[in-house]
């Protein structure tokens, strides 16, 4: 049964490159029986951002203050949250009971919220590129609303890695943002967790370097499993000479003392899961298949 939700579409990072996508997102959500509030930042631009820092910060506070809002969904990623982290009242947002959703640059908000206030957020669709796509992904919609409308949600997918049954706090997001926050007060200290990461337009050696940063910082060793999502939009060149993403992953598997899996349906791709950052995950992986059960996120 579909539950009616109040959505706020807001842009605390990059600007909408296609304003009609915001209209399509609002129409899709409305057609599914939900109510939609579109924040002014969803249609403005300042430099490479949706608005200047003060205006984007005000937009976050404005949405958080709306009692009727159930879900705040980001227009897109890009860049911008890093400039705001020390000015966001994460405790007030956590107390509001709202659910905040997005991915990419939004990872900075997610990890900072988890670190500063135990805030559970949702790594999932954006308004512009997912809800507002010319042909939205049925897979993405199924899993997004499955998580939003249920207290527990199970996923079955192909994951390449060792057989393992484990459980822990689910956390992570965009790899560049995860690595970027190491050593700051906005990096959550998660022990015995299940870390998931993805990225876009990052060459395999840079992906390996960021994973090594997490390895050398002791982050990977404290996890029960690492789930690698999609790494897209990069191009190998002559200097690589056979060094590709598979080689980078093999290198990490040989040195990091944690189970590493590939194939998680998440990232800068059309078909993506919705994953509660700070929620609980039970992972049961067997012979290339896995069942991921999500709970404790509401």
pLDDT in tens, 103-156: 999 999 999 999 999 999 999 999 999 999 999 999 999 999 999 999 999 999
198 is catalytic: yes
The 3-state secondary structure of 113-145 reads HHHHHCCCEEECCCHHHHHCCCCCCHHHHHHHH
pLDDT at 3: 84
pLDDT at 259: 98
Residue 221 vs residues 126, 184, 194, 216, 225: alpha-carbon distances, Å: 31, 19, 11, 9, 9
Identified catalytic residue from 13, 104, 143, 215: 104
Residues in contact with 47: Cβ distance below 8 Å, sequence separation at least 6, in sequence order: none
Tokens of 197: 């990461």
Q: What is the CA radius of gyration of the chain?
A: 18
Closest CA to 24 of 62, 16, 48: 16
- Separation CA 90–CA 81 (nearest Å): 13
Identified catalytic residue from 34, 103, 215, 268: 268
What are the strands of the beta sheet with 259-262, ordered from one edge? 153-158, 289-295, 280-286, 164-174, 193-200, 223-232, 259-262
Tokens of 148: 């939003």
**Rounded to two decimals, what is the model's pTM?**
0.97
Q: Per-residue pLDDT tens, the chain, 298 aa: give them.
A: 568 999 999 999 999 999 999 999 999 999 999 999 999 999 999 999 999 999 999 999 999 999 999 999 999 999 999 999 999 999 999 999 999 999 999 999 999 999 999 999 999 999 999 999 999 999 999 999 999 999 999 999 999 999 999 999 999 999 999 999 999 999 999 999 999 999 999 999 999 999 999 999 999 999 999 999 999 999 999 999 999 999 999 999 999 999 999 999 999 999 999 999 999 999 999 999 999 999 999 9
Q: For strands 99-102 and 275-277, give the pairing.
A: unpaired
Residue 58 vs residues 11, 229, 266, 269: alpha-carbon distances, Å: 11, 33, 30, 30
pLDDT at 111: 98
Identified catalytic residue from 198, 202, 215, 280: 198
104 is catalytic: yes
Residues in contact with 39: Cβ distance below 8 Å, sequence separation at least 6, in sequence order: 8, 9, 10, 11, 59, 62, 63
- Separation CA 241–CA 298 (nearest Å): 48
Residues in contact with 112: Cβ distance below 8 Å, sequence separation at least 6, in sequence order: 81, 85, 88, 90, 181, 186
pLDDT at 265: 98
Closest CA to 147 of 7, 276, 13: 276
- Separation CA 124–CA 25 (nearest Å): 14
Q: Does an H or E element contain 91, and which? A: helix 90-96
Output phi, psi for 169, to 5 deg.
-70, 130
pLDDT at 127: 98
């Amino acid at each position: 049964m579909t539950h009616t939700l109040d959505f706020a579409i807001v842009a605390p990072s990059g600007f909408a490159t296609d304003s009609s996508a915001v209209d399509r997102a609002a129409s899709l959500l409305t057609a599914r029986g939900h109510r939609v509030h579109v924040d002014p930042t969803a249609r403005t631009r300042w430099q490479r951002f949706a608005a200047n820092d003060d205006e984007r910060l005000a937009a976050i506070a404005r949405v958080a203050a709306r009692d009727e809002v159930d879900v705040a969904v980001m227009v897109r990623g890009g860049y911008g949250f890093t400039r705001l982290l020390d000015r966001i009242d994460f405790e007030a947002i956590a107390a509001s009971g709202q659910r905040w959703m997005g991915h990419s640059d939004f990872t900075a908000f997610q990890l900072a919220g988890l670190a500063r206030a135990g805030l559970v957020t949702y790594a999932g669709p954006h308004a512009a590129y997912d809800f507002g796509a010319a042909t939205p992904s049925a897979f993405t919609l199924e899993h997004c609303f499955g998580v939003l409308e249920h207290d527990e949600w199970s996923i079955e997918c192909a994951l390449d890695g060792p057989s393992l049954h484990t459980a822990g706090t689910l956390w992570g997001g965009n790899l560049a943002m995860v690595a970027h926050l190491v050593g700051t007060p906005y990096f959550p200290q998660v022990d015995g967790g299940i870390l998931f990461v993805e990225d876009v337009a990052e060459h395999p050696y840079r992906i390996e370097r960021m994973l090594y940063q997490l390895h050398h910082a002791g982050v990977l060793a404290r996890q029960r499993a690492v789930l690698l999502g999609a790494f897209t939009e990069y191009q190998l060149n002559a200097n690589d000479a056979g060094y590709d993403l598979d080689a980078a992953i093999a290198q990490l598997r040989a040195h990091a003392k944690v189970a590493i899996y590939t194939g998680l349906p998440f990232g800068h791709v059309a078909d993506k899961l919705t994953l509660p950052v700070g929620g609980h995950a039970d992972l049961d992986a067997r012979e290339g298949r896995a069942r991921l059960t999500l709970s404790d996120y509401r």
